[in-house]
């Protein structure tokens, strides 16, 4: 088989920080190639480079042996490379046929004409979808078929699927891989990104594993098994340096009083019958891949989201059954949630550091007619800026002007000023500079030492290992495994998290 696509030494960096580093990658005609790795390993960036959505910083891309570079996705499309994104890009109000030909209509667009063409296309692919049906009425698998048909109708030679099976039921998955085989038989090369190792082992011809932007290993599928893939995905040597030492120096805290107990929590299909407990005086780490329902679970507990009305499960906080419909009563009861997306829902951008912290305080103190005390706010701001080491000219600096680390500290201060009993950090060090990561971790530890119940959600294994006394692993909307923070390893956690 010949190489249809070859990447040589491809690198993509964002201001000196590597998303993809010196990756070599080959794709043969008519093969199914699985691309595996943790969240943020560089899989998406790599496929976006291939599909022309991201321009590489350096390196070479060969198509049929000829050097090529794409300025935009449409150049890649012209070369026969089609990317099917995770969220499908179909227009719900249009019919299947219209969706297949959307953007490529003739000036006079005859519906009958495209219906017939779509019908023929569907038949040639052996797909059972009515071309005149409205896309909104289709199921997830059928939508996927339409996406594939669209790719084929664009004369695709390379099709890239980003997590194609994440939203499919087992039956639909089975069907999807049938489709993939048929595509393969017609000579199309397929790259698919997946978190599900079994899929890769069962259906792929070759496997490439990425880690931290670098290609770790690749080879024919029969050279791998589940364990060797997991080892390749997590096997870091580097991360031990800053996270590992911290982990080794500390001792595991014993669980205190049970603060939170969740049973059979359910919300739509994101959180499914989730049960666990959180204890005071220790850090409970929750690890899970993206889409495993970690954030949703945390937000339900903090009243940001609502669980299902029927069969939504139970949440007990300090032995009291609670059901919050807004965060306000949760905050007053002492549950605070520190968001993973601070710009979207973490801080007030037009307000100063002091005012942000003041808002946290005022939210729980004072009545409807009370005066907003500048003196009180300044005092609180001064205290928290000092104890969290927020680096800014003064407390009047706008939060939006601060670095990621300092912004995060402001968000944390705004939450801590509310004297929580249970604090949930969602990705506390995302987009935070190195120095601040260590400071924030130390701070989280000191909170647990002071007796608070602390939950840290992270999709970064070294972080989980460095600060958790107890590790809960989430998969498919529920906690599936619990580990002791002292004895567990990255491999064990990853094994539980993937499916």
Interface with another protein (CB under 8 A): 13-19, 21, 39-42, 45, 212-213, 238-239, 241-242, 302, 304, 326-328, 330-332, 337, 339, 343-351, 355, 358-360, 362-364, 366-372, 374, 398, 400-401, 404, 414, 418, 429-432, 434, 437, 460, 462
For residue 478, the minimal CB distance to another protein (Å) is 24
Per DSSP, helices labelled H in 388-460 are 404-416, 434-449
In the complex, minimum distance from the CB of residue 92 to another protein, in angstroms, rounded to a whole number: 17
Q: How far is the CB of 425 from another protein (least distance, A)?
A: 13
198: closest CA among 169, 234, 220, 225? 225
Minimal distance, residue 492 CB to another protein, in Å: 21
What the block records as the tokens of 182 is 């048929």
Q: Least separation, in Å, of the C-beta of 180 and another protein?
A: 28
* Nearer to another protein among residue 325 and residue 450 (C-beta): 325
Burial class (CB in 10 A: 0-12, 13-18, 19+), 497: buried
Distance CA 171, CA 142 (A): 12
CB nearer another protein, residue 45 or residue 47: 45
H or E segment to which residue 135 belongs: none
Taking the complex as a whole, how short is the minimal distance between the CB of residue 195 and another protein, in angstroms? 16
Residue 196 vs 363, nearer CB to another protein: 363
- The residue behind tokens 């972080």 is 463
The H-assigned helical ranges of 64-210 are: 73-78, 96-100, 111-125, 140-153, 170-185, 197-203
Residue 34 dihedral angles phi and psi, to the nearest 5°:
-95, 135
Contact by Cβ (8 Å): 329, 336 = no
Pairing of strands 422-426, 453-458: parallel
Q: Which two tokens stand for residue 439?
A: 């400071």
Distance of CA 361 to the CA centre of its chain: 31
Nearer to another protein, 147 or 426 (CB): 426
Distance set, CA 403 to CA 137, 219, 269 (Å): 46, 42, 36
Closer to another protein by Cβ: residue 164 or 462:
462
- In this complex, which beta carbon is closest to another protein, that of residue 25 or of residue 347? 347
Decide whether 114 or 432 has the Cβ nearer to another protein. 432
Alpha carbon separation from 24 to 189, 210, 455, 458 (Å, rounded): 17, 11, 39, 29
Q: Which is nearer to another protein, 18 or 480 (CB)?
A: 18
Residues facing 283 on adjacent strands: 454
Mark out the alpha helices in 205-341 (DSSP H runs). Answer: 226-234, 243-249, 294-301, 327-333
Which of these, 22, 20, 3, 8, lies nearest to 63 by C-alpha position? Answer: 3
**Closer residue to another protein, CB minimum distance, 252 or 359:** 359
Residues 415/418/420/424 CA torsion (nearest 10 deg): -20
Shortest CB 424 distance to another protein, Å? 11
Least distance between another protein and beta carbon 305 (Å): 11
Whose Cβ is closer to another protein: residue 21's or residue 478's?
A: 21
C-beta of 19 vs 229, nearer to another protein = 19
Q: Which two tokens stand for residue 7?
A: 């990447």
Q: Which is nearer to another protein, 78 or 374 (CB)?
A: 374
Q: Cα separation of 378 and 479, whole Å?
A: 42
Q: How far apart are CA 450 and CA 439, in angstroms?
A: 16
H or E element: which one contains 499? none
Query: From the CB of 367, what's the least distance to another protein, in Å?
Result: 8
CB 487, min distance to another protein, A: 24
- Least distance between another protein and beta carbon 331 (Å): 3
Shortest distance in whole angstroms from residue 80 CB to another protein: 27
Phi, psi of 230 (to 5 degrees): -60, -40
CA 166 to CA 334: how far, in whole Å? 35
């Amino acid at each position: 088989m010949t190489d249809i696509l070859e990447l040589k030494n491809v690198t993509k960096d964002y201001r000196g920080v590597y998303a993809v580093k010196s990756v070599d990658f080959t794709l043969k005609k008519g093969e199914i190639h699985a691309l595996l790795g943790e969240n943020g390993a560089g899989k998406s960036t790599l496929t976006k480079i291939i599909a022309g959505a991201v321009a590489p910083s350096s390196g070479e891309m060969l198509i049929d042996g000829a050097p090529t570079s794409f300025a935009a996705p449409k150049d890649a499309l012209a070369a026969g490379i089609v990317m099917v994104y995770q969220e499908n890009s179909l227009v719900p109000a249009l019919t299947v046929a219209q969706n297949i030909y959307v953007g490529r209509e003739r000036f006079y667009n005859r519906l009958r004409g495209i219906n017939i063409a779509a019908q023929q296309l569907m038949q040639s692919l052996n797909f059972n979808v009515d071309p005149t049906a409205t896309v909104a009425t289709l199921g997830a698998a059928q939508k996927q078929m339409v996406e594939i048909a669209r790719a084929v109708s664009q004369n695709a030679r390379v099709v890239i699927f980003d997590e194609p099976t994440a939203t499919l039921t087992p039956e639909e998955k089975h069907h999807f891989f049938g489709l993939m085989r048929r595509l393969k038989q017609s000579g199309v090369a397929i790259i698919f990104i997946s978190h599900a190792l079994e899929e890769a082992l069962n259906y792929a011809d070759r496997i490439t594993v990425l880690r931290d932007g670098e290609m770790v290993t690749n080879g024919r599928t029969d050279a791998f098994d589940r364990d060797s893939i997991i080892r390749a995905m997590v096997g870091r040597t580097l991360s031990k340096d800053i996270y590992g030492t911290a982990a080794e120096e500390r001792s595991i805290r014993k669980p205190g009083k049970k603060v939170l107990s969740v049973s059979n929590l359910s919300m739509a299909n994101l959180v499914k019958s989730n049960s666990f407990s959180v204890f005071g005086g220790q850090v409970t780490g929750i690890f899970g891949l993206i889409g495993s329902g970690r954030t949703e679970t945390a937000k339900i507990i903090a009243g940001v989201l609502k669980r299902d009305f029927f069969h939504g499960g139970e949440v007990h906080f300090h032995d009291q059954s609670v059901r919050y419909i807004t965060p306000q009563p949760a905050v007053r009861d002492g549950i605070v949630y520190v968001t993973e997306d601070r710009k979207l829902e973490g801080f007030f951008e037009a307000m100063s550091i002091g005012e942000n912290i003041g808002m946290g305080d005022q939210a729980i103190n004072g009545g409807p007619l009370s005066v907003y005390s500048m003196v009180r706010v300044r005092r609180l701001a001064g205290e928290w800026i000092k104890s969290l080491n927020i680096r800014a000219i003064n407390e009047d600096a706008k939060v939006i002007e601060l670095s990621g680390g300092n912004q995060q500290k402001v968000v944390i201060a705004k939450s801590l000023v509310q004297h929580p009993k249970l604090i949930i950090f969602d990705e506390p060090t995302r987009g935070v500079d190195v120095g601040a990561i260590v400071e924030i971790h130390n701070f989280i530890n000191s909170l647990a030492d002071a007796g608070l119940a602390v939950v840290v959600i992270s999709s970064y294994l070294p972080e989980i290992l460095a600060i958790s006394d107890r590790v809960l692993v989430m998969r498919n909307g529920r906690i599936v495994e619990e580990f002791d923070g002292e004895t567990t390893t990255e491999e064990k956690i990853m094994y539980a998290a993937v499916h």
